[in-house]
Amino acid sequence: MIGIIGGSGLEDPKLLHNVRGVKIKTPFGKHTPIKKGKINGIEVAVLSRHGYKHEHSPTAVPYKANMWALKKLGCKAIIATSACGSLKEEIKPNTFSLPSQFLDRTHHRDQSYTEHGKVLHISMAEPFSAELRKILLKKCKELGYACTAETTVVTIEGPRFSTKAESKFYRLLECDLINMTTVPEVCLAKEIEIPYQVINLVTDYDCWREGTAPVSFEKVMKVMRENAEKVKKLIVETLPEIDEEFR
């Protein structure tokens, strides 16, 4: 089974066959909605990160319950989708990016399943899956999608967007992208040994770029809607190769 986080319309019954909602008991409370089914004969679990009505803020997403539930369902790899801002002129809105590194600027999120008396020290040198990234990048090129890879995404706490000073600071740190959800998802996936790769859809230039209107929630959602079909096509067409790679 392949886990897909973010939704992006992939729970559409025309696309997802034999669909049913599932609820998994976790030690970390309730997870956000998960629908299980098949896409082109491949078993998938589609998790809506923020809930169907976008009711969970980036900090309030039940990340630990979500990742635990996907593990219990038997997911052998996870593809996540996320809107992001660009911190580089050459990474333009309406393009995809596949990061290989992250910078954590969150402050209130539990990033580990470590418990008292059982401390887990996990290497995070290579947090994302090189195998998934390779498959996704190849398919982007085949589909003619503009895509960058081996980028660095900085995850901020949210739900507010950055100040201009913060945005320019992240540029000085040579970050390429900025979003609000990759941490702690990637950390938890690494800890429970599920290969994970996020597909960042670039929606804006954050607020560092002079002469360009700063990012807004409305702008982000507009670009996400405009690119939803491209995201779905990318995931659907990579599933057979991902299934084969992680079988």
- Give me the residue label for tokens 């599932």: 22
CB atoms within 10 A of CB 33: 17
Domains of the chain listed by start with CATH number: 2-245 (3.40.50.1580)
**Distance in angstroms (rounded) separating the CA atoms of residues 87 and 205:** 6
Q: pTM of this prediction?
A: 0.94
Q: Residue 220 has what pLDDT? A: 86
Q: What is the pLDDT of residues 158-177, one digit of tens each?
A: 999 999 999 999 999 999 99
With a pLDDT cut of 90, the percent of the chain lying above it is: 78
**Distance in angstroms (rounded) separating the CA atoms of residues 140 and 153:** 19
Q: Calculate mean pLDDT across residues 24-32.
A: 95
Classify burial at 82, counting beta carbons within 10 Å of its beta carbon; exposed 0-12, middle 13-18, buried 19 or more. Answer: buried
State the DSSP code for 141.
Answer: H
Q: Residue 7 has what pLDDT? A: 57
Q: Is the pLDDT of residue 193 over 60?
A: yes
Q: Calculate mean pLDDT across residues 232-241.
A: 94
**Residues 6 or more apart in contact with residue 159 via CB below 8 angstroms:** 57, 58, 59, 180
Average pLDDT taken over every residue of the chain: 92
Give catalytic residue positions: 204, 206
Q: Is the pLDDT of residue 8 over 60?
A: no
Of 8-17, 28-37, 65-74, 89-98, the least confident = 8-17
Q: What is the pLDDT of residues 90-143, one digit of tens each?
A: 999 999 999 999 999 999 999 999 876 678 788 999 999 999 999 999 999 999
Q: In sequence order, which ranges of 94-163 are alpha helices (DSSP H)?
A: 130-143
* Rounded-to-10 torsion of CA 193, 199, 203, 209: 70
